[in-house]
Amino acid sequence: MLRIVITLFALLLTLFVTTALTTGGPAMCQTGSDEIVVKLPEPSLEGTRSLEECIAARRSQRSFSETPLTLDQVSQVLWAAQGITSDRGFRTTPSAGALYPVRLYFVAENVDGLEDGSWLYDPEDHSITLVREGSLLADLQAAALDQDCVGNAAAALVITAIPEITEARYGDRSLRYIDQEVGCICQDVYLQCGSLGLGTVAIGAFYDDQVAEVVSTEALPRLIMPLGALPD
């Protein structure tokens, strides 16, 4: 009798966990290597504002409300920055030789349904992988010459690159090509934020080694873009 009760309890527990993982919240899974991966919602190809309206309204925003970001907004911004838009692997932004040396780190602090920490974006799977847990925006602010807009944001996009990927083909010109790619990503993020009613600003003043330590990467930081809802 006891064995039957234990078996029924185990079955109910399995059903409960399965239901919790498949209804509501992000599609989160833990891989065999103990990595936490979140599959992002599919991005939308239709917005509520025209491209021209977003261009005309584009401004750098250094003040944000306390409204949390949603996972849909995170998905859309990351897709705009580097999402794949072709069966051949081409992305939303151009890259010299289609080498794509850029790596995007999303630092979450006030995002509904997403653990605080540094997340690495995977364009091929449209997912993010947790690489460092914890509240990191204060440390990122310190690394960015103590700029308040970094610490007061809901999250931040840290755009990094692996120069060796481009150097193998383009040599000394590689950093120029990488920064051209970063610039394209930056503008895409600005315009996507404008479409979503979010604010952002391009931050280039920071200590490279400190930023890399905060997000836990060996890649070269090129730009920080705080993200948040617009103030009331």
Q: Report the pLDDT value the prediction gives residue 15, as an integer from 0 to 100.
A: 39
- Cα distance between residue 178 and residue 222, in whole Å: 9
- For residue 216 the two structure tokens come to 């836990």
Comparing 23 with 128, the larger pLDDT belongs to 128
Q: Report the pLDDT value the prediction gives residue 133, as an integer from 0 to 100.
A: 97
Percent of the chain beyond pLDDT 90?
Answer: 83
> Residue 164 falls within a domain, yes or no?
yes
Concatenated DSSP letters for 205-222?
-S-HHHHHHHHT-SSEEE
> Residue 126 falls within a domain, yes or no?
yes
Return the closest-CA partner of residue 152 out of 64, 56, 61.
64
**Which one-letter amino acid corresponds to residue 185?**
I
The neighbour count for residue 47, using CB atoms within 10 Å, is: 15
> Residue 23 falls within a domain, yes or no?
no
Q: Report the pLDDT value the prediction gives residue 19, as an integer from 0 to 100.
A: 36
**Degrees to nearest 5, angle at CA 74 with 72 and 78:** 120
> Residue 34 falls within a domain, yes or no?
yes
Which residues lie closer than 8 Å to 35 by C-beta, 6 or more apart?
129, 130
pTM across the whole model: 0.86
Q: Report the pLDDT value the prediction gives residue 60, as an integer from 0 to 100.
A: 96
> Residue 10 falls within a domain, yes or no?
no
Contact 197, 229 (CB under 8 A): yes
> Residue 16 falls within a domain, yes or no?
no
Q: Report the pLDDT value the prediction gives residue 30, as an integer from 0 to 100.
A: 55
> Residue 170 falls within a domain, yes or no?
yes
Percent of the chain beyond pLDDT 70?
Answer: 86
> Residue 20 falls within a domain, yes or no?
no
Mean per-residue pLDDT, 12-23: 37
Query: Cα dist. 226→63, 83, 98, 180, 186 in Å?
Result: 10, 19, 27, 20, 11
Rg (CA), the chain: 19
Summarize pLDDT for 156-167 with one digit per residue, the tens.
999 999 999 999
Task: Round the average pLDDT of the chain to a whole number and report it.
Answer: 89
Q: Is it the case that residue 226 has pLDDT exceeding 60? A: yes
Counting the structural domains of the chain, the total is 1
Summarize pLDDT for 165-176 with one digit per residue, the tens.
999 999 999 999
Structural domain including 208 reads: 28-229
- Cα distance between residue 186 and residue 180, in whole Å: 10
Q: What phi, psi does 19 have (nearest 5°)?
A: -65, -40
Q: Is it the case that residue 113 has pLDDT exceeding 60? A: yes
- For residue 187 the two structure tokens come to 């503008």
Query: Cα dist. 82→33, 36, 118, 190, 201 in Å?
Result: 26, 21, 17, 13, 18
Q: Report the pLDDT value the prediction gives residue 4, as an integer from 0 to 100.
A: 44
Q: Report the pLDDT value the prediction gives residue 29, as an integer from 0 to 100.
A: 61
Summarize pLDDT for 19-75 with one digit per residue, the tens.
333 334 555 565 546 889 999 999 999 888 999 999 999 999 999 999 999 999 999
CATH of the domain at 172: 3.40.109.10
Return the closest-CA partner of residue 128 out of 40, 25, 44.
40
